Structure 1
Amino acid sequence: MDANSRFDLVGASPQFRKAVAQIQRMASIDATVLIAGETGTGKEVAARAIHYGSERAHKPFVPVNCGALAESLVESELFGHERGAFTDAKTASIGLVGQATGGTIFLDEIDALTPKAQAALLRFLQDRTYRRVGGGSLLQVDVRVLVASNADLDALARERRFRQDLLYRLRVLSLRLPPLRERPGDGVLLARNMLKRLSHQYRTHARELHAEGEDFIRGYDWPGNIRELENVIHREFLMSDDEALRLRETREELMPGDVAAAPAETASTSASAPESTVADADCTSFKDAKAKAVAEFERSYVREMLARAGGNLSQAARLSNQERSAFGKLVRKYRLGGEGQVA
């Protein structure tokens, strides 16, 4: 396995190879990096590759979704607090920055930080010193800072919604990850890699992509990028009976009217199906049956991830390769408690 596969950097397009070359170069330079890219382009994957390809690889990598931090507790979450600093501060906390000592802290959705938090981060970036909430001592930490955003930070700065001076501090090195629609051929490579991983995860025989599935992947724009592709492949892997995935259900959903009628042999097979199968199908619509199966999978999967993470929502989200906010919505949707049990 080469280094790129190890870091889940899969792709052969010139645009992606350029980004990978930048990642490898930035891993050797101990400086702040601003990672830009649309939702689902793999910004955290790139951040992890930079960290684990650097001399800090043996130290912690601490990912933080700034959009998931409570506005009133942002500084406490980042920089820690002393016991009694506020009502619920029953014990002292070293904060996320403290947890990343010697390693890397990755601040995703940096544009979600409040003006007060932006000011605190700016002070910290100047010399890596900070004070815990409620504390008087000035602390210093050796940590590398990587940040990411899918927003146009320059536009936000012009609108005075993001500090221009903070943007200068963050943009020591800049990395832009291309969207999937700008990476010809990479979608199919990614899908094949995902199928191998899913076969291993579910301990089943290997599945392949049918030519129809490959054509669809190449022709669709993928506004949700790699994350959307991954969700599609995962769903089709679980729900399709085809040995070679045609992605027919996804094509019908995302590009209605673009799917040709089923081949004659398929219709013939359906016509000769046992009467009991037809009767069973009449009991509930295909759409309802499919929705029920997907819901059962989601509920089981979320419960399992929470159990593996010991009830830690952030860790469970990382295990499932989802943003914390998206994973949290599933937890609330299925009323699953912190320990992965039904609330």
Structure 2
Amino acid sequence: MGVYSMENLSRFNLIGSSPQFQAALRQIEKMACVDVPVLIIGETGTGKELAARALHYTGERAAGPFVPVNCGALTEALLESELFGHERGAFTDAKQASPGLAAEADGGTLFLDEVDALSLKAQAALLRFLQDGSYRRVGGSQVRHANVRVLVATNAALDQLVEARQFRRDLLYRINVLTLAMPSLRQRDGDARELAQAFLRRFCHQYRVQRQFHPDTFDYIARHDWPGNVRELENQVHRAFLLSDDGYLRLGANPLAAPIQASAPLPYKTAKARAIAEFEQRYVEGLLRCTEGNISRAAQLAGQDRSAFGKLVRKLDLQGMGRVLPNLVNKG
């Protein structure tokens, strides 16, 4: 039996004190106790997958696997195979049999994100699976079973897709036993500031560097509409943290949008090259400061090969494009 306390939900990065968000947390707490499908709705970046993980890990299936599937990232040809597996030789690239994600989630939870991206054929297969847990691998005839809880998420209006005959009505009824609505950040009074401070603490711990928000930043946080919701806020805090020159984070500044001082307008390619060069300089310097000049760690944070990142550091230094911490760049 899971432990369903509101305090436990913060470990899933479900952070916020607004009445709107607290109401959503209470719904998660209730829905975790019942083993039925849940349709999680909300705008992009509102934390639908975080909510799904909380439903799983505070529920009775917590000891089982949690298997997320981004339906929008899979082609129609591969989606059914990914979900339910395939037999060897079922199609050209099927060199060996694959059990599929439904089998992988047996005993746990299968989370289908962007469920509106499922083709009508895949929707039919999912409907059969939801009815009794049975399915067939692509290219196979044997009926198999998996005991899973299915959670689905979408930022689309499924009822409108039903009317447009792009989503099955019977499938909507099947997945919509319970509906969890994740509020947008602009609906969550005061939560943006609370989240920003939580992200700052996380990045200070992650990079082992202390930073703080510039006082003007909180006015921006309160004014901004946050169309990308929590994900946009997190990315802005992360970017500002990496590019800080003086220990203060200033949100809302786009390094590529800074005006270029020139006596006459520059040609497009020249202006673009200069803006990119200035961004590269600030970005690399920010990473090197955060890692105290450790190139290996900086390359890892940038998601680049160390050799390629080292070449970028040397290029900036050789071209005299500002400070690249010459006393530190040999570390790592």
Bin for the TM-score computed over the shorter chain: 0.7 to 0.9
In structure 2, the CA distance between the partners of 1:104 and 1:156, relative to structure 1 (3 Å rule), is same
| 2:171 is equivalent to residue 166 of structure 1 | yes
SS at match of 2:111: strand
2:279 corresponds to which residue? Answer: 290
| Residues 85-109 of structure 1, C-alpha deviations (whole Å, 9 max, x = no match) | 2221111111011110100010000
Shift of 1:83: 1.4
| Letter of the 2:47 counterpart | G
2:321 corresponds to which residue? Answer: none
Shift of 1:137: 1.3
SS at match of 1:16: helix
Shift of 1:128: 0.8
2:66 corresponds to which residue? Answer: 61
1:303 corresponds to which residue? Answer: 303
How many residue pairs are counted as aligned between the two chains? 276
1:122 corresponds to which residue? Answer: 127
2:249 paired residue among 245, 252, 267: 245
* Contact residue 216 and residue 251 of structure 1 kept, 8 A: no
Unpaired segments ≥5 residues, structure 2: 1-5, 260-272, 288-297, 306-332
Q: Distance in 2 between matches of 1:223 and 1:248?
A: 13
In structure 2, the CA distance between the partners of 1:97 and 1:231, relative to structure 1 (3 Å rule), is same
Q: Distance in 2 between matches of 1:33 and 1:201?
A: 34
2:218 corresponds to which residue? Answer: 214
In structure 2, the CA distance between the partners of 1:302 and 1:61, relative to structure 1 (3 Å rule), is farther
| 2:112 is equivalent to residue 107 of structure 1 | yes
* Contact residue 22 and residue 175 of structure 1 kept, 8 A: yes
* Contact residue 256 and residue 275 of structure 2 kept, 8 A: no
| Letter of the 1:229 counterpart | L
| 2:32 is equivalent to residue 40 of structure 1 | no
1:138 paired residue among 138, 143, 157: 143
In structure 2, the CA distance between the partners of 1:3 and 1:64, relative to structure 1 (3 Å rule), is same
* Contact residue 184 and residue 218 of structure 1 kept, 8 A: no
| Letter of the 1:218 counterpart | A
Shift of 1:251: 11
2:208 corresponds to which residue? Answer: 203
Alignment of 1:307-318 (within 5 A): none
Shift of 1:287: 6.3
SS at match of 2:138: coil
Shift of 1:248: 5.8
Q: Distance in 2 between matches of 1:295 and 1:78?
A: 41
In structure 2, the CA distance between the partners of 1:285 and 1:84, relative to structure 1 (3 Å rule), is closer
Q: Distance in 2 between matches of 1:292 and 1:49?
A: 40
Q: Distance in 2 between matches of 1:151 and 1:68?
A: 16
SS at match of 2:122: helix
In structure 2, the CA distance between the partners of 1:21 and 1:71, relative to structure 1 (3 Å rule), is same
SS at match of 1:249: coil
* Contact residue 124 and residue 130 of structure 1 kept, 8 A: yes
Q: Distance in 2 between matches of 1:150 and 1:294?
A: 33
2:190 corresponds to which residue? Answer: 185
In structure 2, the CA distance between the partners of 1:114 and 1:227, relative to structure 1 (3 Å rule), is same
| Letter of the 1:231 counterpart | N
In structure 2, the CA distance between the partners of 1:4 and 1:61, relative to structure 1 (3 Å rule), is same
Q: Distance in 2 between matches of 1:54 and 1:81?
A: 30
SS at match of 2:69: strand
Alignment of 1:10-29 (within 5 A): 10-29=15-34
RMSD: 2.6
2:235 paired residue among 227, 231, 242: 231
Q: Distance in 2 between matches of 1:169 and 1:232?
A: 38
Q: Distance in 2 between matches of 1:67 and 1:227?
A: 18
Unpaired segments ≥5 residues, structure 1: 257-283, 306-343
TM-score by length of 2: 0.77
In structure 2, the CA distance between the partners of 1:199 and 1:247, relative to structure 1 (3 Å rule), is same
Q: Distance in 2 between matches of 1:195 and 1:149?
A: 29
Q: Which runs of 4+ in 1 moved over 3 A?
A: 250-254, 284-288, 291-305
* Contact residue 256 and residue 279 of structure 2 kept, 8 A: no
